[in-house]
Amino acid sequence: MEVVIALASVLGNVMVVWAVKINRSLRDTTFYFVVSLALADIAVGALVIPLAITISTGMRTHFYSCLMVACVMLVLTQSSILALLAIAIDRYLRVKIPLSYKRVVTPKRAGTAVLVCWLVALIVGLTPMFGWNNLQKFNHTNSSEGPNPDVICKFENVISMQYMVYFNFFGCVLPPLVLMLVIYFEIFYMIHKQLNKRINKSASQTDPSRYYGKELKLAKSLALVLFLFAISWLPLHILNCITLFSPSPKTNLIIYVAILLSHGNSAVNPVIYAFRIRKFRIAFVKIWERYVCCKKVNQLASKATRRRGSLEKRMRHHNDL
């Protein structure tokens, strides 16, 4: 199952990045963060899951080698959370200040935000490498004093549960999730408020209604991404809390299901984009037909699409003015 999840994660999220590359209408600031999220999910499928499969065999390795493997997963998880938070803030600004949004949220600022998200994720995820780990506990239990002893490489053998619960979960995972919940609630409230205003006005006000209607549909899709992320990762964090506060043996089945859920989240986002966001769906079909089925793209249709895209861009510019 891990192999299937890894393949689906890599292929699906490569399609997401590719779709943004070939479709100009997807190259707005929101999709900077979507691409960042996709890159983290690609790394989970290509790097983390193979490493997780390897260490699940009970192999022995140096303490810090095993710790680095665990920290990579923590970095990627934190980058996903921060990317989702950035997406939520971006959608909030798009609805809150639609007229000045493009002036406030520029591509340069969005790129800077992506870099900041990854920098914070690195700091949070690599914290155990700087001392908050189980090395002293391991040395005490095994009556050894080695600076880098051999261990059976398992996550709980090297990562401190105090770090996972108090710092990672209570400090860096739960607050962003709660903040995103509040942000999306406010987004839906503002959109419905604006739509109700437009319904009560004359028919000449249909363009704003169309704008907020599109924002509502996209906000629902991105909120679904957040919801699936939460239900995929919360079981594993709850297990960590139980391990810390009630360290009783747990069945392997529960642990494996929680791990599969957390890894499986990396494969579901492209499916949501394909079914919920029309621009992604069109781009996915184009990639499939051109590069998998080897169909030739009709040049006239391509030119017509470009002309239509240019016309839509001019109309959006006119509406913004």
Residue 318 pLDDT exceeds 90: no
pLDDT band (50, 70, 90) for residue 300: very low
pLDDT band (50, 70, 90) for residue 125: very high
- Check residue 208 and give its pLDDT: 65
- Structural contact between residues 177 and 85, judged by C-beta atoms closer than 8 angstroms: no
Residue 183 pLDDT exceeds 70: yes
Mean local confidence (pLDDT), 107-122? 93
pLDDT tens column, 130-155 = 989 988 887 777 766 677 788 888 88
- Structural contact between residues 50 and 2, judged by C-beta atoms closer than 8 angstroms: no
Mean local confidence (pLDDT), 233-260? 85
By mean pLDDT, which of 34-38, 129-133, 151-155, 234-238 is the weakest? 151-155
Which is higher by pLDDT, 289 or 316? 289
pLDDT band (50, 70, 90) for residue 112: very high
pLDDT band (50, 70, 90) for residue 11: very high
Mean local confidence (pLDDT), 167-196? 89
- Structural contact between residues 46 and 10, judged by C-beta atoms closer than 8 angstroms: yes
Q: pLDDT > 70: what percent of the chain?
A: 85
Residue 10 pLDDT exceeds 90: yes
**Within 13 Å, how many C-alpha atoms sit on residue 277's CB side?**
26
Entry pTM: 0.81
- Phi/psi for 150 (5° steps) reads -80, 135
Q: pLDDT > 90: what percent of the chain?
A: 30
- Check residue 314 and give its pLDDT: 57
CA distance linking residue 314 with residue 62, whole number of Å? 60
Query: In terms of Cα–Cα distance, which of 173, 181, 151 is closest to 240?
Result: 173
Residue 195 pLDDT exceeds 80: no
- Check residue 280 and give its pLDDT: 85
2-320 — its CATH code? Answer: 1.20.1070.10
Mean local confidence (pLDDT), 43-67? 86
Query: Which 3 state secondary structure label does DSSP give 153?
Result: coil
Q: Measuring CA to CA, how many Å separate 18 from each of 3, 14, 22, 285, 310?
A: 22, 6, 6, 12, 21
- Check residue 204 and give its pLDDT: 42
- Check residue 304 and give its pLDDT: 45
Which is higher by pLDDT, 246 or 313? 246
Mean local confidence (pLDDT), 53-69? 85
